[in-house]
Amino acid sequence: MFLKHFTLEDFKNGQLLLLDKPLEWTSFQLVNKVRWLIKKSYGIKKIKVGHAGTLDPLATGLLLICTGKFTKRIQELQGLEKEYTGTFTLGATTPSYDLETEIDQTFETKHLTKEQLNNATKQFTGKIEQYPPVFSALKKEGKRLYEYARKGEEVKIDPREVSISSFTLTRIALPEVDFKVTCSKGTYIRSLAHDFGKAVNSGAHLSSLRRTKIGDFTIENAMSLEEFIYKLPPKPQQE
């Protein structure tokens, strides 16, 4: 259970905050907002705040935010297995593998069957090699990949080994399929959408994504930003 109101000592000694990241917010924006709220509420000039695992702006769900002494745990928390739910839209691809960019190619979907789609998930479980999306924050030669992509510059991307322990389809209503995935750190669900489309001789992109679990931490125990604000002192306090 969360305290009714946090104290400044709570944040300094270390808090692990489970927040439900809103749609279209970056993880960095949510961290900045939390830091600003803490500083404003307690009348302090600085406090350590960081997150343990980025979520794309078009994704919602569980973001672990650490404060004070708990920021030392960020690397440990980043390594935990993660669970996602969401939707792939078949029959079309985008350069970013999600809705950040416009559709660039369309494909036939009439040949797709439920059996074929369910069987295709099996080739993506276990340890697999995955190419990160070119529209990502990964760095190459000091620049983020999306910087190259937005300028139309080609860049060679090396595959990375990731582990997917579970991948199931929970709804099939073509052109959409809903999914649930449990995977290791570094797995790109956008890349999984793109590769899944190829595997069924069609195209696909990620049209919605929600992170529901990190290790034993679940979205059911997460706070909205409004709930977090409620747990802060109603008036600014002095240190």
The residues carrying an active-site annotation are 56
Q: Write out the two tokens for 87.
A: 């939707």
- Say which residues have a Cβ less than 8 Å from residue 216's Cβ, sequence separation at least 6: none
For residue 119, CA distances in Å to 45, 113, 127, 161, 208 come to 55, 10, 17, 22, 22
Q: Strand, helix or coil at 159? A: coil
DSSP state of 222: P
The half-sphere exposure of 104 on its side-chain side, counting CA atoms within 13 A, is 11
End-to-end CA distance of the chain: 25
For residue 12, CA distances in Å to 17, 48, 50, 81 come to 13, 8, 13, 27
Sign of CA dihedral 144, 150, 156, 159: positive
Beta bridge partners of 53: none
Q: Write out the two tokens for 183.
A: 């995977």
Sign of CA dihedral 188, 193, 197, 203: negative
- Whether residue 236 is preceded by a cis peptide bond, meaning omega within 30 degrees of 0, is no
Sign of CA dihedral 131, 78, 34, 143: negative
